[in-house]
């Protein structure tokens, strides 16, 4: 089958069969298809779209372009499952969710990525931990998934290699914004992990990857249909990103927050008028981070058959957290991948802190009616906590903490956030933009948006 004929057919808006798509992606993976041909194919898809069947075939071909992990030889005592997020600010869910699910009987081979644009990356957060190896060999990775129940690492060169080439060409040919190409890229890598089930977290709001709520919903619907169509039961939670998920953003700061939640200390939080966190007990004011992580974990446990229903899942999750088992799984994973064995007991000893901190304060009294979440994420990047260019080094120390939430009342001169920087000069360079990210309204009560906008499953939604 000639590659140029496949490109011509898609250029002319014809429907490609699965054999043609698989042949094209095999050529992408082995190098026999050139970059010019990849670019032409991608542009034809952008202009003419794909049918659902074509999109499923593209996802399967991406998955099958390299190694597909198999777990049957390890005789695991539970299902293999995972979660993926489209990314956000203060989104450290993966650090908590993986060990939490492992403590409930699941096995989580989580292949994660680095920060992209204004969004933080799970691998960057984990590399704030001294010694943590995000590129272990296959034997160690598989052993941790079996024995600990979770291992969070980076993508290996053998998993979905066609996606790496295709994405690289899309990035320089203005063909990134195509739903079937986006979905195949996301799902191809995840499904190569040999999952029994997958739950996706698609963000909605001004800090989300997708530009509008409708676009986020369209992506979520496509992920459910294509993931399930490719043979892996897939569901999606649409979650809010109109404010940071945690009240911090930055790599080491987010590892600290993950440990707090896994210890049970970071579950209930309320922000007082002076911007300081006040711990609550049993009053139902669970943090945004806890609520979203719990909702995703519940969906995973029920979908994988580890819990009979949401109530059963809640009981299992509470037990895993209260007993310390979830924290223990995180500690074992960290140590197994080269990090310190006592990170949970002495995080301040291992997680570097920024040499300069200062508060960004409110210019006047008011209620936080809106937050430019993207601007906060870009502020972390400008401080050095993210990358402007692919090869940039990360300063894991820097970031934001004590970030005021939507609906919070602040007085003039009270903190909107605390800024952690390498120097006063770097802090001063971003302070004004960070202050302008908050819109203060007249005194009154602003109702924050719902954290869970919708849950989508195959042929159903709620």
Would you name the residues annotated as active-site residues? 82-85, 122, 170, 185, 189-190
Contact 193, 111 (CB under 8 A): yes
Element (H, E) at 270: strand 269-271
Bridge partners for 454 per DSSP = 238
Q: Which DSSP category does 249 fall into? A: B
Q: Which of 208, 184, 170, 185 is nearest to 46 (CA)?
A: 170
Separation of alpha carbons 325 and 341, rounded Å: 15
Q: Are 459 and 228 in contact (CB under 8 A)?
A: no
SS3 state at 370: strand
d(CA 212, CA 55): 22
Task: Name the token pair of 286.
Answer: 């669970």
Q: What is the DSSP letter of 6?
A: H
Helices (H), 49-160: 52-63, 93-103, 122-126, 138-147
Tokens of 214: 């409708």
Quickly tell me which residue has 């000893």 as its tokens.
Answer: 349
Reduce the DSSP state of residue 36 to 3 states and report it.
Answer: helix
Which residue in 287, 124, 91, 96 sits closest to 201, CA to CA? 91
- For 148, the enclosing helix (H) or strand (E) is none
Query: Rounded to whole angstroms, how far apart are CA atoms 2 and 50?
Result: 20
β-pair partners for 203: 239
Distance CA 307, CA 318 (A): 13
Bin 154: left if φ > 0, else alpha if -120 < ψ < 50, else beta: beta
Alpha helices in 69-212, H assignment, sequence order = 93-103, 122-126, 138-147, 161-172, 179-191
């Amino acid at each position: 089958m000639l590659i140029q004929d496949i490109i011509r057919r898609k250029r002319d808006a014809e429907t490609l069969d699965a054999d043609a798509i698989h042949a094209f992606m095999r050529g992408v993976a082995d190098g026999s298809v050139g970059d010019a041909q990849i670019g032409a194919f991608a542009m034809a898809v952008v202009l003419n779209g794909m049918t659902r069947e074509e999109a499923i075939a593209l996802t399967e071909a991406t998955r099958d372009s390299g190694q597909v992990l198999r777990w049957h030889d390890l005789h695991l005592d539970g299902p293999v499952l995972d979660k993926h997020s489209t990314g956000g600010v203060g989104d450290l869910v993966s650090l908590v969710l993986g060990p939490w699910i492992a403590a409930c009987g699941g096995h989580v081979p989580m292949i994660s990525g680095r920060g992209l644009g204004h969004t933080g990356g799970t691998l960057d957060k984990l590399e704030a931990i001294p010694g943590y190896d995000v590129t272990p060999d296959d034997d160690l990775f598989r052993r941790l998934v079996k024995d600990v129940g979770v291992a969070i690492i980076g993508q290996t060169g053998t998993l979905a290699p066609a996606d790496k080439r295709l994405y690289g060409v899309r990035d320089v040919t203005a063909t990134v914004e195509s739903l079937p190409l986006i979905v195949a890229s996301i799902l191809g890598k995840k499904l190569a992990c040999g999952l029994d089930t997958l739950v996706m977290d698609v963000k909605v709001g001004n800090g989300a990857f997708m530009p509008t709520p409708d676009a986020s919903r369209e992506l979520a619907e496509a992920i459910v249909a294509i993931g399930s169509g490719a043979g892996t039961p897939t569901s999606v939670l649409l979650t809010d990103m109109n404010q940071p998920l945690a009240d911090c953003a930055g790599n080491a700061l987010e590892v600290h927050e993950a440990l707090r939640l896994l210890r049970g200390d970071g579950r209930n939080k309320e922000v007082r008028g002076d911007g300081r966190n006040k711990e609550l007990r049993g009053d139902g004011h669970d943090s945004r981070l806890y609520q979203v992580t719990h909702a995703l974990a519940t969906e995973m446990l029920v979908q994988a058959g580890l819990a009979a229903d949401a109530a059963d899942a809640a009981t299992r999750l509470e037990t895993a957290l209260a007993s310390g088992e979830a924290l223990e799984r995180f500690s074992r994973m960290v140590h197994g991948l080269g990090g310190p064995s006592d990170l949970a007991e002495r995080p301040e000893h291992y997680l570097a802190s920024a040499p300069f901190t200062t508060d960004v304060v409110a210019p006047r009294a008011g209620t936080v009616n809106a937050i430019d979440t993207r601007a906060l994420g870009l502020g972390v990047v400008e401080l050095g906590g993210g990358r402007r260019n692919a090869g940039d080094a990360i300063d894991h120390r820097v970031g934001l903490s004590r970030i005021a939430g939507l609906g919070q009342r602040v007085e003039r001169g009270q903190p909107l956030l605390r800024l952690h920087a390498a120097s006063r000069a770097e802090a001063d360079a971003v302070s004004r933009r960070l202050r302008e990210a908050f819109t203060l309204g007249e005194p009154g009560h602003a109702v924050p948006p719902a954290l869970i906008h919708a849950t989508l499953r195959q042929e159903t939604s709620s």
